[in-house]
Structure formats: structure tokens, C-alpha cells
Chains A and B, each alone.
Chain A
Amino acid sequence: MKSWRAWIEPSLAVLIALGCAVLVLVLLGANPARALVALAGGAFGDRLALENTVVRMMPLALIGLGVSLAFRCGVWNIGGEGQLYLGALAATALGTRLLPDAPAAILIPVLLAGGALAGALWAGIAALLKTQRGVSEVLSTILLNFVAVLAVAWAVHGPLQELAGSYPQSDLLPEAGRLGIPPGLLRIHGGVVLVLLLPFAVWLLLFRSAVGLRLRAVGASPDAARYAGVSPEREVVRALLLSGGLAGLAGAIEIAGVTGRLFENLSPGYGFTAIAVSLLARLHPLGVLPAALFFAALASGSGAMQRVAGVPSVTVQVIEAIVIFLSVGFALAGRRS
């Protein structure tokens, strides 16, 4: 078996990208060692930094998990960002308007389920367009991102705006709807339990269930799957719904665990970075965790790098880009050999 490649190649991609970053830093006239130490320090240097990184990792891991699942079925869900926004919107509407007085035992599950459902339905539009009208899901999911972001902007200026009415943001979720921070932690909220469990659930689904085998068969060869009695259309819809559901869940968790309220620019592009996460993880549900941690660390360390070493924080985007190129390159090379 070539299972070693699954670990060696992503690590190699990260190392090469860091090597290139050193080159870029030298060209910028910075001290590369100092900059990279600052980057690492900003991501993992103290408890607060570490916990910030983990909090950033959570939406990346959840959306990346969904993206991987859809890719395994041959579906390119580029709409994680929009699905996250819709999930956040649904959770906020439920928590601040529809069920503000519910107890935590009811409200939290309802918020999370509502967010997941909203994300799934949003992706379901793309699924419907693809199976009924043959519209490429790449296009429809990208375009739906814009619609979702604008829908949130409208909501926080309109029906969901805080009752005080001063800022374009929603009211805070009631305390019963917040994911608490366990004692002894600074930032990491209860959502971490789901982030750690769901990759195993998706792994089970993909590799140990009949549904997963159908999804993967459709992804690898729709013709052969159809001959075997699988309906590729049905599996594509299923994959998009599950994928969107995970992104919507990430949005709900972001509201209930981090921000407490809805506002514009809620996500710093989690839905897009998650695609890179899933590529670096080689579409493996468990690989999504370390891959999400890596990208989260880059994001949270870049500010410190700018402060300490005087290097523009966008330098980390060079690293991200190279990792993406190399991940795709290795995947293609692996397919050919």
C-alpha cells in the first residue's frame, strides 16, 4: 500500500512552502529566522495564542471536512463561505428572535441543527441546479456565496438588527444559547467536541458505510457506478447537502461559541481557506484536523510576524498558495503513477 504517501507528501508540501517563504523573506530584506519564530510564536507561543489558533481551526476543520466529502463524490463545493453565513444567519434568527427564552438543553441543539439545516438547504440549491438543469456546481456555489453574504448584510440592517438599533449587527444570543468555555480554558469553547468527533463520523460514513461507498464510486466513475445500480444524481445531492450542512454547522458554532452575534464580514474567508485545508488533507476526513491547524496557525501567527519582524502579514499568503499548488501537484502525480 502507498499509505505512507498520504503523510509524506503533505508534510513535504508544507516544508517546501516554508522554504519558499524563507526565500521571499530574504528578498524582502527581513531576517527569515526571526520572522518564522515570530510566526510560530504568534500561533503557539503562549496559551492565549494557542487557544486562538484552535478557535480559528474549528470552522476550517468543519468546512474542510464537508469540502472533502463532496470532492470524494466528484462534487466541487466552492460555496463553504456562503453556507457558513447562512448557518450563522439561521442560528442567530433562532436564538435572538424565535426561541430567546428556551433553556440551554433545547436551544443549543436547535441552534446547531438549524445552522446545519440552513447550510444544507443553501447547498441544496446548487444540487438542484446541477441535477435538474446541468448547471456546474462550481459556478452556482461560488455565486451563491455572494448572495449569502448580501443576505446577512440585509439581515443585520433589517429584521435581525439589534433592538437598540445603533449598529448593523444582531443582538447577542441569550446566555442559554452560548457554547460555554470549559473551566481552565481561555478561548476554546464547547464546539471543540464536535470538531474532534465529526471527522471520525465522516470517516466511518465514507469508508465503512454503504452510503460512503456509493459516494466514492460516483466520484471515481459515474458510469461504472450507474452500471452497478447507483444513481449518481442522488449521491451528488446527498454529498452537497452533507457538505453544506457541515459548513452551516460551522457558522452556527461561530455565532454560539465565538462572536455571540451576527454581523457583516463574520468570516475572514474560512470557506475558501477550507478548500486548501481539504486539498492539503488529501481529502481525508482525519487529515483535515492537522491541515486546518496548519492554516489556522498561519493566520493567527501572521499578525505577530508583522509586528515583530516588520514583514507584511500577506507573506503568509505566499506560503498558503505554495501549499495549495504542491498539494494539487502531488495529488495529480499520485494519480498518474
Chain B
Amino acid sequence: MPRVALRDIHKRFGSTEALRGANLELAPGEIHAVLGENGAGKSTLVRALYGLVRPDRGEILIDGVPREISTPRRALELGIGLVHQHFMLVPALTVAENLLLGEPLPAFLRRAELRARAREILELYDLGLDPDAPADSLAVAERQRLEIVRALARGVGVLILDEPTAVLAPSEAAALLSLLPRLRERGTTVLFISHKLAEITAVCDRVTVLRAGRSVATRPVAGLAAAELGRWMVGEALPPPGSPPAMAAGAPALRLQDLRVPGLGGIDLELRAGEVLAIAGIDGNGQGPLEEVLAGVLPIGSGTLEVLRPPLAVLSGDRQRTGLVLDLSIGENLALSEAAGAGRERLYRYGFLRSSELQRVARESIARFEIRGAPDLQARALSGGNQQKLCVARALGGEPRVLVAVNPTRGLDVAATAAVREELRERARAGAAVLLISTDLDEVLELGTRVCVLFRGRLTAVEPERRTRERIGELMLGLGGA
């Protein structure tokens, strides 16, 4: 009998279907990996099992008994624990105190007793943690181990690790991976969320691949070809809904030479007018630093970055944090770039606002990009999709000749997605150079005149004759060779 079984789980958030029929079975004492692209539904599935998300349909069986898991507390009662990417420790308390926090303890207890109990637990798992060290003095890997021990000390038999190595250095990641078989020996079942193929083949027993909210395959890891996993992850080739703009090799517009910053190891890239260069890749492989360095927010470590055909505009990948000032109105957000000194004097004269001109420009953008709001409405009051449209409107408002678009359609509905993609194509046709950084493979294939893949801070060009989902999927997982 499976230890845990999730059957036909469905979950919809607003207009997006995160899960549409996902199945997952964990055998007792196995290390089971869940693999999938960004947005495939991995976190939603895990959150459903941990009581953070209530499925719309489907059932969860624990040891063969159907259970309703409505809260994390209920999940813990059933022996299911989750170690988050963001740790849930009290920084000012010691390792021992964090470990015993939430345990039934007498109202007053002696420090020595507390320490002795904590030491007992720590020795059981032999993880080299000092019970008296304050949690905020621990390195990231140590905090993670503390979280794991805490879960186990509470009697968790099914341990969920949500992308546990994403926050670790390579040597720390190796140490964590070596811990997993030891947990298995003790009978703990581990659910391991990752999109790093090497980790999965190194320690996992079985793997379930999620794609677009569905589980497409569950297989033993032994003897599995990596290329096959890549194909399951990205799916069979579908005809792209639109086609990339025809290559009209224009003048170079943006050139990066051996550009290095923390997280990026030597990027060489030449972007030409009239093309869309699409950079695919799984989040966390250097997209953030690349965006920031292009936006001029992150200083260049070494190498060169030349904008040969200014102005350059960045359509930020994080509309709430960096794309918009949420407390300002739609109109003020549109005016901000010009107020910062970029672009022509249009909305301001002698440094003072021409209100009627701003109203006119804002109304124009609102109509053109179908933003649901008036010029004076706070950006905070807009829905996510409308905020994204406002970001697009602002990035394009300065008539950029180099446009960097980061996940430009994330969170948009089908119609808005099509509109934004058509806008990017249109810009390229009109002679702008577009650099698209996207984790959405469909978007990359639909828009990219050329396609590259970013993996662990390095860029690999996809050969034009091998431009298939399969090939890109391989590169996204770091299977560069041949």
C-alpha cells in the first residue's frame, strides 16, 4: 500500500489551472522526486499535501485512508512535514530552543534538561549542530538541517523538501543529498522537489514528471535516460501559435562580452536590430542577475556591456517589486521614466508636469493596452494582469530601440498574452532589438528569431537546425553535450 497517494488533484486559481489531474504515489521509505518546468504545478501539488492549498477535486490517501488535510497542523498530525525554501526558525533562539519549540513541554524547564533533550535528538541524526548556537548564527545549510531534524523530531514520516538545494552551495548540496539515503534507512519517506536532473538521478528511487498541471509519467530512476525525462518535462512539439519575426539581420544594438557578475559566468551575446533573441531556462539559473545588470541596477563585475542603439528599456520580471511603484497612480508610473531623465521632454516642461498631456498619454496607453483603470487610479488597485499591461505600456512608451522583456506574459490571460507577444513582434519588425528572457518555452519558441538557453549562469545557443522542444529541454537541464 502506498504511504501517500494523491489522486486526480485539480486546482484552479482564478483563470489559471495550476493542477488538472495530477497523481502522485509515494511508496514507504522511498525517495521520490517530482520534476517539472516553472509553472508545471509542483509547488501547488506539494502545498495541497501539506494543507496550504485546498484542492478543488481529487483525493489524498495517507496509508490507504482518505484524509482531508485542511491545515499544516493537520498535515503534521498525519506525519507529513515540509521544509520550506524560506526557513521558519526563530533567529534569536538557540538550536535547542528552536528544536523543542512547539513540543509539549512543562511550563518551566531547566536549561540543562532542555539542552540534554536537544542533544539527544541531534545525536540521533548526527548532523553536527551545536545545541547552544543561536539560529541566526547558522549557515544556510545548517539552518536547513535544523529544519529537517525538527520535522523528524516531531515524528514526521513523510518529509517534503521543496527545492532544497536551490539555496545551497554545491558542496552543501552534496552534503544534503548524502543525508537523504540515511533518512531512507530510518524509514522516512522523502518527497524531493527539484528541477536538477543530476540530483534526481544521484539519490532518488522514483520520479514523477509534471507538465502543465498533469502528471505525465512516474518511473524508477534506475536505467532512465535523461533525454527521456527532458522530453516528458517539456512535452511533444506543438506547432507554435505564431511564428517569430523573419530575420532581417540589422545592425548590432546590444553587445555583452564576457560579462560576469555573481550568478553569471561569462556571458557573450550580440543582439541585432529587428530580431528577437529568446533566452530560455529554468528560473534561478542567472535570469535575475542578467535582468538587473541590463537594467543598470547591478554593477558589472567584469567584461563589457554596450548599448549600441539606445534607448534601452527593461520590462521587469517582477512587476510588484521593481516594475511599478504601487503607491503611485497609473499616470505617475507612466511619467516616472521621463521624470528620471530618460527619453524626450514630453510630459514635463521646465521640470513641471503638463497635467493635460499626462492625462492624454495615460488615456492613450490605457486604451491601447486595455488596462482596466483611470489615469489617477493607484497601481496597487489594479489586478496582476493589468499591472503587467501597465509595465508593458511604460517600457514601450519611451520608444526603446533595445527592449529587454523578462517573462512579459506571466500571469496574463490568453488574450492579453497574445496581445503582448504581438506587440513584441511588432517592435522587432519596426527595427527594435528585443531580448526576451522567459521561462515559458512556448513563448521562447513562438517569439525567438534565435534561441539560447541559460543554465547555471552560462548561455548556450540552440543550433537553428535543432530547434526543438526536446533539444531545448535537454539544455535547460544542463545536458549540453551532443
Contact = CB atoms under 8 A, between A and B. Distances in A.
Chains A and B come from one and the same complex = yes
B324 interface: yes
Interface in B328-376: 328, 332, 335-342, 348, 351-353, 355, 376
A259 interface: no
Contacts of B295: 227
B322 A223 contact: yes
B323 interface: yes
A223 B351 contact: no
B325 A229 contact: no
Residue with the highest number of chain A CB atoms closer than 10 Å, among B296, B322, B338: B322
A68 to B, nearest CB: 15
Given A210-B338, A210-B348, A227 B332 contact: no
A139 interface: no
Nearest to B349: A210
Given A208-B355, A227-B297, A217 B336 contact: yes
A230 B353 contact: no
A163 interface: no
A225 interface: yes
Contacts of B348: 209-210
A217 B337 CA distance: 11
Contact of A210 (B325, B328, B339, B355): B339
Interface in A202-246: 204, 208-211, 213-214, 216-217, 220-221, 223-230
Given A228-B337, A229-B341, A217 B325 contact: yes
Contacts of A224: 321-326
A216 B340 CA distance: 12
Given A226-B297, A227-B297, A227-B314, A221 B339 contact: no
Contacts of A204: 352
B339 A213 contact: yes
B332 A208 contact: no
B322 A1 contact: no
Contacts, number: 77
The A interface is mostly helix, strand or loop, or mixed, namely helix
B327 A227 contact: no
Contacts of B297: 223, 226-227
Interface in B282-333: 295-297, 314, 316, 321-328, 332
- Interface size on B, as a range, is 20 to 34
B327 A220 contact: yes
A229 B339 CA distance: 9
A314 to B, nearest CB: 38
Contact of B376 (A1, A209, A216, A223): A1
A227 B342 contact: no
A214 B348 CA distance: 13
Nearest to A204: B352
Interface string A28-60: 000000000000000000000000000000000
A159 to B, nearest CB: 40
B340 A228 contact: yes
B323 A217 contact: no
Interface string A1-12: 100000000000
A230 B336 contact: yes
Given A209-B351, A210-B338, A221-B327, 9 more contacts: A208-B355, A211-B351, A220-B328, A223-B322, A224-B324, A224-B325, A226-B322, A227-B297, A230-B340
10 contacts: A210-B352, A213-B353, A221-B327, A224-B324, A225-B336, A226-B322, A228-B336, A228-B337, A229-B296, A230-B339
